[in-house]
Structure formats: C-alpha cells, structure tokens
Amino acid sequence: MKKYEVLLVCGGGFSSGFMAKALRDAAKQKGIEMHVQAKSETALEDYIDEIDAVMVGPHMAYVMEEAKALTDEYGVTLVLMKPDYYKSLDGKACLEHLLECLKEDGKYE
C-alpha cells in the first residue's frame, strides 16, 4: 500500500497544524498510510519534490495561482481546503476531499 505524503499550508503553519492532526487521525481510522505536515506557504518549494499533495488553507486562496505553477511542474495534487471542514477541524471531511482530488489525478483508487 502506498504511503501518501501531504503538506498542509497556511499563513504561519499554526491553524493547519490542528487540521493536519485531524487528517492524520482520519486516515489512520480508514487504514490509509499518510504522513501529514503543516508548514507556512513559504515552505512549499522546500518540500515540493517529496510530497504527493498540497492542501492550502481556505484563507490562503490568493497563493493558489503561484502554487499551481509549482505543483503542475512536479506533478503534485493541489487542493484548496473548504472552509466548512477547516473551521470545524473535521478530519474525515478533509480526507474525503483530498482522496477525491487524488482520484482525479489518478493517484488513488
């Protein structure tokens, strides 16, 4: 089974740290191996060649265009997190959204 490397980014990496834990817990409950890190958006270039997906905090939508250029170059799935599960730290909903996006990119069955 594949282990997924996921990077969650937000302004300082703080709020996404709580979301990362919720996402890790949800993946574990589903039996999906997933390593999730939370960093500031400035760290994206440092991790881009090690990850399968980047999830961007909903309040950071303004970085999506720049992030897309980088993720497209490296074949990394880019996801803008939805405010509803981000605010409530709903790891299960976050995981479902991520898996949908990975499926669209042919990285998850």
Domain ranges of the chain: 4-104
- Which of the four CATH numbers 1.10.357.10, 3.40.50.720, 3.30.1360.40, 3.40.50.2300 does domain 4-104 have? 3.40.50.2300
Alpha helical stretches, state H, 1-109: 15-29, 44-47, 64-74, 83-88, 91-104
CA dist 78 and 74 (Å) reads: 11
Mean pLDDT score across all residues of the chain: 94
Note the pLDDT of residue 13. 61
**The pTM of the whole model exceeds 0.85:** yes
Note the pLDDT of residue 46. 95
Residue reference for tokens 């270039």: 45
Question: In the chain, pLDDT over 70 holds for what percent of residues?
Answer: 96
- Assess contact for 50 and 36: CB atoms under 8 A: no
